[in-house]
Structure formats: C-alpha cells, structure tokens
Amino acid sequence: MCPLAELHVHIEGTLSHSLIRELARRNDLPIPPAARRDGPSSFGCLDDFLRDYYANLDVLRERRDFTDLANAYLKRASQAGVVHAEIFFDPQSHTRRGVPLSTVILGLSDALEEAPDRFGMTASLIMCFLRDRGPQEACAIYDEALAFRDRFIGVGLDSSEEGFPPSWFAGVFARAKADGLHRVAHAGEESGPEYVWEALDILDVERIDHGIRSLEDLELVARLKAEGMPLTVCPLSNVALRNSPADIAQHPLPVMLGEGLMVTVNSDDPEYFGGYIDDNFAALTRAGVIDGAQCRQLARNSIRASFMPEARKAALLSGEDIRVSR
C-alpha cells in the first residue's frame, strides 16, 4: 500500500471498549451501558449511533484521557500505513459535560506533538461544530477556541445532518476563512445533494466529508469533477448507518471513481463501524469493489487532498518521504 493520509476520522469515534473501561476505572465512573455489550453494535440510522457515541464519551474527563485516546488512534493508524492524519474533534460534546475546552485541546495536542517521534507520522486537528447545537453555540465555541488557534488547522461541521443545513453556519465559517483556517463539512451522507451545494457555495469548503449522495445530481457531479473537490468517503460507515446498500459490493465508490471524482477512503468512527482505514480498503478489495490500481489511486488522492504543505505532498507522492521524524 502507498502511504496514506486519513482525512475523515473523529477522534471520539476511536474510543475503544477497552479504553472506555480503563478510563472509567481511572476516573471512578460507571462503565456506560453501550460499552458493556459484547460484539459489534447495530445501528438503524445516524441518530441511533450518536446515542451510544455520546454516552461513551462520559469517561473522558482529564487532559491525560484525551492524550491516551489520541495516542491509541495514532498507534493504530501508523500500523495501517497512515503517514498523516487530519483528525476531527467535537469540543461541544465535552464542554457541555463540563469538561473545559483547554483540557480537550491540550490533551489531544500532547499526543499529536509526539506523533512524529513515537509513530513516524504527523497529525493535525480540525475542530468540528455540532450542527444540531445550532449556529449560536458554534460561534460561542469558536470564540473560546481562538485562545488555542495554533492547535488546530481548520473547522468542520458534523453530527445529525437532516434538518440542519450548512447555510445555518455561514457566519462562523466566514470568520474561520478570514482567520486563515481550512474549512470542511459533512454533506451528502444522510441528506441529498442540496446540502453539498450549500457547503460549496455558502460555506466555501475545501473538502466535502462523505458526499456519496452527490451522485444523484449530475450537475453537481460535473462541478465536483471540474473543481477537483475532494470527497472523504467512509465505506464501512456508510454500510453500518444504511446510507449505502448493506452489501459493500454495492457501495458507490467505484461509480464515483468512474466519474473522475477526487475520492478518498477513510474510517470515520472506526470503533463503531467495523474498522480502521486499512480495514476499509481490505473490505472494498475483498468485495471486488476496487483493485490494486484503484487502491493506489485512492492513496495518492488522500495525499493530494490533505492540507499538508505542497513540498511534503510531493515528497510523499514521489516516495521520498514515507515516514517523518521531528
């Protein structure tokens, strides 16, 4: 496998049952009900997943908890061939539980700063707004986060999609752009192409997270292709949340590639949806969805679509910079 960049992973979605139990003991907390169940979970929709997801986060309380969470992901990602990760985090899911924003950002940053030495990879943070919490709260958390401006490279938009259009967040995204931050947004996962249009035209995003329903609008497909707009697709997540056919062999990824779209493969919330980035590639390959040449193309796409410096991208694409040290 070529070196990979992972561009769509929620750090909270990498919280394993074993780490949940460890943090619960350390913080003298009960183990959340969802983490007591054996075997994989089954979700009927995004909201079903989010119920368990938010409940499990209660064990994250202290700065070192967030450091341990990030280190566990970075170790696993490096084993999968990831040389660079742009990691989503949801500050509102923690601050609304009474965890200070500084605890979250500094805890995650502690791990990311050591990633080159410990894991031979680089990583950056993208702060996401919970769309179901509304634009006013998004602006408030953005104001607070500016004290840590050097700790994250961009902003994103995630959580429940239906009924919470990107246009609601035009103001905070405009501020982020003016402040020199990158901008991405979830769209076209549960919702139709209209949310992708809004993310492009109103939020002025540089990547679309998911975007699989873009295929329903031929004009949108043509625009995405013409602009080379990256789409961070998460196949196992799409199957788990029933946003694509239950048989991964029917996933729209090869159609997207055939349309000439800048598609990447990512893990989303790997502890909930069946695996990490290499597991996604393996599942697609086993099902005959992609072949070796397409795997290499997807890997190259991930490097090109990242927010790494252009010189680093060129070195990775040429094979000169497979692993990085501080």
- What pLDDT does 45 receive? 74
Whether 300 is in a domain gets the answer yes
- How many residues are listed for the chain in this entry? 326
Instruction: List, run by run, the mean pLDDT of 10-residue segments along the chain (326 residues).
Output: 92 96 96 74 76 93 98 98 98 97 98 98 98 97 98 96 95 98 96 97 98 98 98 96 91 97 97 95 97 97 98 92 53
190 as an active site residue: the answer is no
Active-site entry in 189, 190, 198, 271? 189
In this predicted model, what pLDDT tens digit does every residue of 107-151 receive, in sequence order? 999 999 999 999 999 999 999 999 999 999 999 999 999 999 999
Whether 324 is in a domain gets the answer no
**CB-based contact 302:7 (threshold 8 Å):** yes
Whether 67 is in a domain gets the answer yes
| H-assigned helices in 98-186 | 101-119, 134-145, 170-178
Whether 66 is in a domain gets the answer yes
Sign of CA dihedral 280, 286, 289, 295: positive
Number of domains in the chain: 1
- What pLDDT does 259 receive? 97
- What pLDDT does 124 receive? 98
Whether 61 is in a domain gets the answer yes
In this predicted model, what pLDDT tens digit does every residue of 22-50 receive, in sequence order? 999 999 999 988 787 665 567 777 778 88
Report the CATH number that the domain containing residue 160 is assigned in CATH.
Answer: 3.20.20.140
Range of the domain at 260: 4-318
Distances (CA, A) of 124 to 8, 11, 115: 12, 11, 10
Of 184, 115, 127, the closest CA to residue 152 belongs to 127
Whether 326 is in a domain gets the answer no
